[in-house]
Structure 1
Amino acid sequence: MTIIAAADGSALGNPGPAGWAWYVDDSCWRAGGWPHGTNNMGELMAVLDLFKSTAHLPEEPLHILCDSQYVINSVTKWMPGWKRKGWRKSDGKPVLNLELLKEIDAALVGRKCTFEWVKGHAGHDLNEAADDRARDAATAYQAKRQPNSGPGFPGAQTAAANQTSGDSPSSRDTHATGVVQADSASKNNAAGPSSPLQSATAPLRDLVPPAFGEQALFGDQDQPDLFSVMDDEPDPSFTPGRTKGIDAVIEQERELLDPAVRADPFRVAELLHPDFEEIGSSGRVWTRAETIQMLSEEESVTVDMEVMGLAQLDTSTALLTYRSSAPGRSVLRSSLWNFDNDQWRLRFHQGTLEA
């Protein structure tokens, strides 16, 4: 029987007090966290702990519901390329959250697993349940108390105890197997300083990447609680320059209005020039990082696009003007595209509300 579970992470401040959780039903879920971590760490840890918690059922397929494009793409698309490059990205920089990713890579061996993207905060029962528990864990660490770790997966405690009995595990073993243990104290939300939950998560506190420190197309609202954007990692399925003609500008602008693309910070990063800026209707200047961040966290809205003009200003520059329409909102827009590194990338954008 396929095990269907949602996995989610939460960070208050990002980085800041952070939590993670996976959820099957009210009698089968797990949560944990750190005093200082990121949202992406939480998302990854939820997936990793789900693998570890079901390791005693290797023949059971896993179907993981996840609202993080970063996690899904990391596991299903980018990890093989990272491994071939010695766990480095295409720019030569080390992959972030490396230890968590290596643990997930090892946990995948011999397992049947599929991922399904679900939109966060959209009323999906399993996703909402995992999100609530991850946020509760982050809130617990913010309040300097142990979170409710949950009942765990049936049989996981026994399997983990048998696997580690008589051993003196290394730090990696503690992280890999201890995290699925749940003694009576942790079940009753009374885990002490030496609880399996605490010992399992403690090594991860040093894995927190630097804060991005910015929020972030085509918007003009304040974002009070911002999630950090990880370093851009090009999607291997996207071949730069796949459409070199000027018509690619329209195609790619439409992509930036597509809710699925807007929710994927890595695809948005591919479409935006490194020096991208936007001037919103209020006169505020948005940076590339702020734009990527804002799009990844906004509510999904269908936007229609009416092309008004497309002109190639020189061999490497194109100007697109159009009207975007959404319920109760019409905006006249201008986008300046630059042919950079054998592909069109958006260099500048400005929108003006239509009366």
Structure 2
Amino acid sequence: MTITAAADGSALGNPGPAGWAWYVDDSRWHAGGWPHGTNNQGELMAVLDLFRATAHLPEEPLRILCDSQYVINCVTKWMPGWKKRGWKKADGKPVLNVDLLHQIDAELAGRTYTFEWVKGHAGHTLNEAADERARACALAFQSGAAPVEGPGFDGVPHGRVLAEAEQPLDTQQPGLFGDESLPGAAATGASSAAEKDIEAVVELEQELLDPEVRADYGQLAYLLHPDYSEVGASGRLWGREELIEELVDGPELQVRFELVDAAAVGPDVVQLVYRTVGVQGSALRSSLWQRTDGRWRLRFHQGTPEA
């Protein structure tokens, strides 16, 4: 009998107080979180904990409903290549959230599973239930209260929650810019809030270069700010809706991402400068991400072809 569950994550500020949850029904669900994490880390942890919570039923197929294309692609498309390259991306840079992905990879052995994308915040019963519980945990960590963790699965102890030393803060892998000698980094094992903001935004920018994300109206609408505008490589000024329609109609884009510079230019604004290299040549690009309503959204982008 197939086990159908929704898995979701939440981060207030992304990064910030974070929660995660999976939900089958009112008697079978589990949630948790951390004082500081990203939405993607929450999404991944929900999937990891679901596999662990159902490990005593290895013969039962898992049908995982997820509103994150990033998580679905990580598990079903990208991980085999990352593993072959020693958990490196195609451009040689380290994979983000590798600590969680390592653990998910170990849990997949011997399991039958499928992932199904569902649109978030669209009234899907299981997704809404998981989202509500994940957000409640994030709010609990924000206020210093104990999170409500739920009953687990059929009375069996729920999946093991990560110990503090295992929290997915990407401090156990090389830094985003290959600099592991920042003042105090060795002693604290943690990055500054600004560095975490930058890491989150770089991750989101790379999501927007994924053809599957570009073909998904819901994902694009979620990532682009309501006041988004873009000066394209041709010099054309694009509005949000017309750009979304253009990308959905022709999403194919296979490029290599090369980060040039990234900086927090305000408490809720991050600017990225990067290069894309593809069959049509290379271009320098600049993006301005703004945190609104507790999440990062792309506000402005400009691309300039290189000679």
Same fold by TM-score greater than 0.5? yes
Q: Is the 8 A contact 2:231 2:237 kept in 1?
A: no
Name which one, 1 or 2, has greater alpha-carbon Rg.
Answer: 1
Deviations along 1:175-231, one digit per CA (max 9) or x if unpaired, are xxxx626xxxxxxxxxxxxxxx5xx342333624742449xxxxxxxxxxxx74517
Percentage identity across aligned positions? Answer: 58
Separation in 2 of the partners of 1:16 and 1:92? 28
Deviation of 1:277 after TM superposition, in Å, equals 9.4
Q: Deviations over 1:26-67 (max 9, x none)?
A: 111000000011100000000000000000000000000000
Partner residue, 1:330: none
- Pick aligned residue for 2:206 from 200, 209, 232: 232
Give the number of the structure with larger relative contact order, counting CA–CA contacts within 8 Å between residues 6 or more apart: 2
* 1:126 maps onto 2:126 in alignment: yes
- Taking the aligned partners of 1:44 and 1:32, their CA distance within structure 2 comes to 12
CA contact (8 A) 2:18 2:35 kept: yes
Q: Identify the residue that residue 242 of structure 1 maps to in structure 2.
A: none
Q: Could you tell me how far apart the structure 2 residues matched to 1:155 and 1:208 are? A: 32
**Which structure 2 residues correspond to residues 185-264 of structure 1 after superposition, within 5 A?**
197=161, 200-205=162-167, 207-208=169-170, 210-213=195-198, 228-230=201-203, 232=206, 259=217, 262=220
- 2:62 aligned residue: 62
Tell whether the 8 Å contact from 1:273 to 1:347 is kept in structure 2 after alignment.
no
| Structure 1 residue 8: Cα displacement | 0.2
SS at match of 1:180: coil
What amino acid is aligned across from residue 220 of structure 2 in structure 1?
R
Q: Contact conserved, 2:8 with 2:127, CA < 8 A, in 1?
A: yes
Say whether residues 1:342 and 2:300 are aligned partners.
no
Q: 1:117: which partner in 2?
A: 117
SS of the aligned residue for 2:167 comes to helix
Structure 1 residues 339 and 65: CA distance shift in structure 2, 3 A: closer
Deviation at 1:273, TM superposition (A): 11
CA distance 1:84–1:274, change in 2 (3 Å) = farther
- 1:4–1:62: 8 Å Cα contact kept in structure 2? yes
Aligned 8 A contact 2:232 2:238 in 1:
no
SS in structure 2 at match of 1:207 = coil
What's 2:88 paired with?
A: 88
Change in CA separation of 1:340 and 1:140 when aligned onto 2, cut-off 3 Å: closer
What does residue range 254-293 of structure 1 map to in structure 2 within 5 Å?
A: 259=217, 262=220
In the alignment, what sits opposite 2:104?
Answer: 104
Q: What is the TM-score of this pair, normalised by structure 1?
A: 0.55
Check if 1:180 corresponds to 2:180: no
Gaps of 5+ in 2: 172-194, 224-229, 250-274, 286-300, 303-307
C-alpha displacement of 1:99: 1.0
1:17 to partner: Cα distance: 0.3
Aligned length in residues: 229
| Residue equivalent to 2:188 | none
Aligned position for 1:327: none
Tell me the amino acid that sits aligned with residue 217 of structure 2.
Answer: P
The structural deviation recorded for 1:14 is: 1.0
Q: Residues 35 and 155 (structure 1 numbering): CA distance in 2 closer, same or farther, change over 3 Å? A: same
Letter of the structure 2 residue corresponding to residue 262 of structure 1: L
> Secondary structure of 1:211's partner?
helix
Deviating beyond 2 angstroms after TM superposition, the runs of 4 or more aligned structure 1 residues are 203-214, 231-235, 255-258, 260-265, 272-281, 301-305, 338-341, 343-350
Note the C-alpha offset of 1:82.
0.0
Structure 1 unaligned residues grouped into runs of 5+ = 158-178, 182-196, 215-226, 239-254, 266-271, 282-294, 308-337, 351-355
* CA pair 274-101 structure 1, distance change in 2 beyond 3 A: farther
Indicate if the aligned counterparts of 1:156 and 1:180 stay in contact, CA closer than 8 A.
Answer: no
CA RMSD of aligned residues (A): 3.9
Letter in 1 for 2:149: S
